[in-house]
């Protein structure tokens, strides 16, 4: 019986901490640079989670290697509920794109529930001599070998979208990686790069102000947001099989106690009904998740299905992968 004593003592020792969770600020890791689309979702979510979770969430931006550095920081963090990760489709595409990753996507995280889906837009520098997708297609064809496409690193959503775009039009481009699409957008605004495929949470304001040119949205239906409603879908523009919607989910390190996982999931469900969160996200084209994928088990099943779906898609586009 003595063998079970240390284990029981260990469990008892952590019970007060569990009961009081959270009793200090929680770190929310964003695996891309501040100011980009992932960061925008995270900051809106942190505000909506503050009350239902009963803690301040402090954003920590860890960009680099297509989001895998930040993901690994959380995979290796203490499983105590005080280090969480907000990540997106890149968690799945990186699994298909990297031969080795410093973490195991389906084993090293607790899945806490999904957050939203964000459409992508194909945007270009304001000085591009192309105002419609047809004109852009002609310009791309005439400038083969001289086109620079920006993204947030191999495995990021912008990289995946760029990969699928190159495969759809069969034109190879010079791809320029950044620690996030906030710095990438700066170079697009400055004319240092030609085009980028990025989430509407980062491009809507620039499209509205005319600082970038917008060509298509990557959703199967046109978007409701006023600044984006006039944009044709990729399908309408003749781009077959080029549909990308960037889903976001919340994660904790594997081994985070179930009571803590359940508390965070319950708080997430409340946060996603927050009126201000809805208003801010929907104004940028995002759609809040309100289905079975709010549950951790369904969230994990969805990500596994996405990994299995994206693998062959990325392999087929492989000649364009960095
Ligand atoms: C991406 O995957 O492209 C990221 O969302 C970019 C970012 O958030 O900075």
Å from CA of 244 to ligand 1 middle: 13
Q: How confident is the model at residue 1 (pLDDT cuts 50, 70, 90)?
A: very low
Pairing of strands 148-151, 83-88: unpaired
* Ligand 1 pocket mutation pick from 31, 67, 69 by most atoms within 8 angstroms of CB: 67
Q: Which pLDDT does position 2 carry in this prediction? A: 47
Task: Write the DSSP assignment of 78-117 as a string of letters.
Answer: -SSSSEEEEEETHHHHHHHH-S--SS-TTTSEEEEEEEEE
Give the pLDDT confidence of 65-90 residue by residue, as tens digits.
999 999 999 999 999 999 999 999 99
**What CATH architecture is 5-118+246-317?**
3-Layer(aba) Sandwich (3.40)
Closest residue by CA, ligand 1 atom 9: 180
**Contact criterion met (CB below 8 Å) for 123 and 136:** no
Three-state SS for 47? helix
Give domain limits for the chain. Answer: 5-118+246-317, 119-217
Query: DSSP state, 315?
Result: H
Ligand 1 binding pocket (C-beta < 6 A) is: 32-33, 36-38, 90, 152, 156-158, 180-182, 199
| pLDDT at residue 313, as a whole number | 86
Has this prediction a pTM greater than 0.75?
A: yes
Pocket test residue of 116, 119, 158 for ligand 1, highest count of atoms within 8 A of CB = 158
User: Which of 163, 181, 182 for mutating ligand 1's site (highest number of atoms within 8 Å of CB)?
Assistant: 181
From the CA of 36, give the closest atom in ligand 1.
9
Looking at the structure, give the CATH architecture of the domain made up of residues 119-217.
3-Layer(aba) Sandwich (3.40)
Kindly state the percentage of the chain with pLDDT values over 70. Answer: 93
pLDDT at 11: 57
Instruction: Give the ligand 1 atom nearest the CA of 37.
Output: 8
Which pLDDT tens digit goes with each residue over 207-264?
A: 999 999 999 999 999 998 888 999 999 999 988 878 899 999 999 999 999 999 999 9
Interval between CA 238 and ligand 1 midpoint (Å): 26
Residue with CA nearest ligand 1 atom 5: 38
Q: Would you call 149 helix, strand, or coil by DSSP?
A: strand
Q: Which of 33, 180, 183 to mutate to test the pocket of ligand 1 (most atoms within 8 A of CB)?
A: 180
- CA nearest ligand 1 atom 3, residue: 158
Query: In whole angstroms, what separates CA 162 from the centre of its chain?
Result: 15
Our CA angle for 100, 247, 195, nearest 5°, is: 80
Instruction: Name every residue whose Cβ is closer than 8 Å to that of residue 291 and which is 6 or more positions away in sequence.
Output: none
């Amino acid at each position: 019986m003595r063998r079970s004593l240390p284990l029981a003592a260990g469990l008892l020792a952590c019970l007060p901490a569990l009961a009081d969770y959270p009793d200090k600020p929680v770190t929310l890791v964003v695996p891309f640079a501040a100011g980009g689309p992932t960061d925008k979702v995270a900051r809106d979510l942190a505000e909506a989670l503050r009350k239902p979770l009963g803690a301040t969430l402090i954003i920590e931006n860890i960009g680099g290697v297509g989001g895998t550095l930040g993901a690994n920081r959380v995979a290796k963090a203490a499983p105590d509920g005080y280090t969480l990760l907000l990540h997106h489709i890149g968690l799945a595409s990186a699994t298909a794109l990297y031969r080795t990753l410093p973490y195991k996507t389906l084993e090293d995280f607790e899945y806490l529930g999904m957050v939203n889906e964000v459409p992508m837009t194909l945007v270009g520098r304001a000085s591009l001599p192309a105002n419609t997708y047809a004109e852009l297609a002609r310009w791309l064809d005439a400038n083969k070998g001289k086109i620079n496409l920006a993204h947030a690193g191999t495995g990021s959503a912008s990289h995946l979208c760029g990969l699928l775009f190159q495969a759809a039009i069969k034109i190879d481009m010079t791809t320029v990686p950044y620690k996030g699409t906030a710095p990438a957008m700066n170079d697009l605004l400055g004319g240092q790069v030609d085009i980028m495929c990025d989430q509407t949470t980062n491009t809507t304001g620039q499209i509205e102000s005319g600082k970038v040119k917008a060509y298509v949205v990557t959703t199967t239906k046109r978007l409701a947001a006023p600044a984006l409603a006039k944009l044709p879908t990729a399908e309408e523009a003749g781009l077959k099989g080029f549909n990308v919607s960037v889903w976001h989910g919340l994660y904790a390190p594997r081994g985070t106690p179930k009571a803590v996982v359940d508390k965070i999931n319950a708080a997430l469900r409340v946060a996603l009904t927050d009126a201000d969160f809805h208003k801010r996200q929907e104004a940028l084209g995002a759609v809040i998740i309100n289905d079975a994928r709010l549950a951790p088990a369904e969230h994990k099943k969805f990500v596994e299905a996405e990994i299995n779906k994206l693998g062959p898609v990325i392999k087929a586009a492989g000649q364009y992968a960095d």
